[in-house]
């Protein structure tokens, strides 16, 4: 899980990666609505402003001293007004408080995604169970909830697979570098490869062949940034395009689907299990539903030692009791 804070004043980004066993999803009308609420950007304003150290570092030394003096004076006023200000009420030194946006996304996918519905919520005195019905899909598309890097990784994987089918004689790492320098544009990468193939330099030993600028192919099949020495016939290339960050920083060659390699985890997941809860916080019972992979639309209902076969429609009627869901 990636949580990223963006300061609206200096536009600095502060990402943080966290591991999770299950996603705790708010109880909404559907699982998709709950996930959208979970991953909805949060705006930090007024008393919830973000303490940005980079904004502070951007001040001159004199401005930093005046800023810290103002913060100390403000904290002292709070101390006198309330005798003892809490740590939350005091403002920290060496940072500037500014508005910020907090966004959350899934930064890495595993084999099984566990979703935990927040059915037990506090009313200020005790925890109560939320019995609201929650519609859950048999197929869940995770594309709206993953990070841009993950989406780019999958786009590159699909593009590289297409290039492998078109140019099976070219090494995969070379195809990946072509795709990188084409900024992920499949058609542009194909034009580059065709241009190099026509020059007879596609499988050359010189790695400089792959250092070129992404651009449109000329009508004669030549590529921008690629030059050929008339005397030797050796082809050389210009440097990679400025401002383009190679996808290899996100996806290594062996992360892409290929011969003898593990495929990327699917973005579209199928429901394989459910845990339903009956009763209240102080007394209840759990029932598990497990999909039978060998028979479509067939599930097992596991109630302690009692196991029976049920159909998909029976499982879908558990909307007011569903507590955990497992997608693969």
For 170, half-sphere exposure in the C-beta direction (CA atoms, 13 angstrom radius) is 26
Helices (H), the chain: 31-38, 53-57, 61-82, 148-166, 172-181, 186-198, 312-316
Give the pLDDT of residue 153: 83
Which uninterrupted H or E stretch holds 271? Answer: strand 268-280
Q: What is the DSSP letter of 147?
A: -
Rounded CA-CA distance 222/207 in Å is 18
Cα angle: 278, vertex 282, 288; to 5 degrees: 30
Is residue 83 within 8 Å of residue 244, measured between CB atoms?
Answer: no
Is residue 287 within 8 Å of residue 303, measured between CB atoms?
Answer: yes
Write down the residue that tokens 């699917």 correspond to.
266
Is residue 183 within 8 Å of residue 241, measured between CB atoms?
Answer: yes
Angle between helical axes of 172-181 and 186-198 (0-180°, round to 10) = 120
Coil, strand or helix at 272: strand
Give the pLDDT of residue 263: 66
Give the pLDDT of residue 124: 77
Cα angle: 282, vertex 287, 289; to 5 degrees: 150
DSSP strand pairing (235-237 vs 268-280): unpaired
Rounded CA-CA distance 54/11 in Å is 10
10-residue mean pLDDT profile of the chain (328 residues): values are: 94 92 94 96 93 94 94 86 64 93 92 93 83 96 92 85 87 83 84 81 51 42 37 34 35 41 78 94 92 92 96 95 96
Rounded CA-CA distance 173/167 in Å is 12
Coil, strand or helix at 212: coil
> Residue ranges of the domains in the chain?
22-39+108-141+267-327, 148-198
Give the pLDDT of residue 203: 62
Joined together, the tokens standing for residue 236 give: 């050389």
Question: Is domain 22-39+108-141+267-327 annotated with CATH 3.40.1410.10?
Answer: no
Give the pLDDT of residue 75: 87
Q: What is the DSSP letter of 184?
A: T
């Amino acid at each position: 899980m990636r949580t990223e804070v963006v300061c609206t004043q200096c536009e600095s980004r502060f990402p943080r990666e966290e591991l999770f066993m299950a996603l705790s999803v708010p109880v909404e009308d559907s699982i998709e609505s709950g996930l959208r609420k979970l991953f909805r950007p949060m705006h930090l304003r007024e008393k919830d402003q973000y303490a940005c150290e980079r904004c502070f570092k951007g001040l001159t030394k004199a401005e930093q001293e005046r800023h810290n003096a103002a913060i100390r004076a403000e904290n002292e006023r709070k101390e006198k007004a309330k005798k003892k200000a809490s740590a939350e009420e005091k403002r920290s030194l060496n940072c500037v408080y500014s508005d910020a946006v907090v966004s959350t996304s899934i930064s890495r996918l595993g084999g099984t995604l566990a979703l935990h519905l927040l059915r037990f919520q506090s009313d200020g005195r005790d925890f109560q169970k939320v019995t609201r019905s929650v519609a859950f899909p048999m197929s869940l598309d995770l594309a709206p909830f993953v990070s841009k890097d993950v989406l780019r990784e999958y786009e590159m994987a699909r593009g590289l697979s297409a290039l492998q089918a078109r140019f099976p004689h070219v090494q995969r790492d070379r195809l990946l570098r072509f795709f990188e320098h084409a900024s992920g544009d499949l058609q542009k990468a194909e034009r580059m490869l065709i241009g190099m193939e026509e020059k007879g330099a596609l499988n050359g030993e010189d790695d400089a062949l792959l250092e070129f600028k992404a651009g449109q192919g000329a009508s004669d099949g030549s590529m921008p940034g690629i030059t050929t020495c008339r005397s030797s016939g050796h082809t050389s290339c210009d440097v990679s395009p400025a401002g383009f960050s190679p996808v290899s920083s996100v996806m290594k060659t062996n992360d892409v689907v290929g011969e003898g390699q593990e495929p990327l985890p699917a973005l579209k997941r199928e429901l394989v299990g459910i845990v339903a809860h009956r009763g209240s916080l102080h007394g209840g019972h759990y029932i598990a539903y497990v999909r039978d992979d060998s028979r479509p639309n067939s599930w097992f209902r596991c109630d302690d030692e009692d196991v029976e076969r049920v159909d998909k429609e029976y499982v879908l009627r558990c909307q007011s009791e569903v507590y955990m869901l497992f997608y693969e």
